[in-house]
A and B are shown apart, each in its own frame.
Chain A
């Protein structure tokens, strides 16, 4: 599998995968997409890279530790739902900044939550596929 063509292709494709997955993540609030779908795509991209370069290499290159990624994702999601408590509002109340960024859209705690989902999904899928393909 490990041929030059694949390696080059992946090197080019991976950023695209990640970019597209981010795009799906951010637009999810208004159009089909969202953290879960985005996360899956990003993970598939990284998985493809791992198939070509080997999992060990991929882990080393990106300093990925899947369980760590899961923990990070969960904590992002957790923090996002805790934020409103500091304003005396119930858990998970959506709080929004009053500005809209291009491509990303409005910033707010639900978005942050979705980012948490995105990260967890990446972690989970990588964890499973890395372990399985490693034997």
Chain B
């Protein structure tokens, strides 16, 4: 299963980058989102997955004994998801403003600030 999931993660990375390399701004955002799925999955899997219980201590016990999922990676992913959301929301609004200001959604046309005069 790890192999399949690893390949899936790689696929998500590839797809994310593919979308970001496109011309369209919307695709860019979609790519950013895809990239964040891929990253989260990567961290989730790299911390070793178990087909086991969540890291929640059962009602009548004080410690976790059996095999359980790694809570650390989950906490990291949670933080990363939320931060990612903040940035994605900002980016989504930003493309709205960029479109309003430039009249285009084609990333290739946004090269004014880099060009030599």
Contact = CB atoms under 8 A, between A and B. Distances in A.
Interface residues of A, number: 7
A102 interface: no
A88 interface: no
Contacts of A132: 93
The size bracket of the interface on B is under 10
Interface of A: 30-32, 36, 124, 128, 132
B56 A31 contact: yes
B78 interface: yes
Contact of B82 (A30, A32, A36): A36
Contact of A124 (B54, B56, B78, B86): B86
Contacts of A36: 78, 82
B89 interface: yes
A93 to B, nearest CB: 19
A32 B56 contact: yes
Given A128-B89, A132-B93, A30 B78 contact: no
Contacts of B57: 30
Contacts of B82: 36
Contacts of A124: 86
A32 B78 CA distance: 12
Given A36-B78, A36-B82, A30 B56 contact: yes
A124 B88 CA distance: 13
Contact of A32 (B54, B89, B93): B54
Contacts of B56: 30-32
Contacts of B86: 124
Contacts of B93: 128, 132
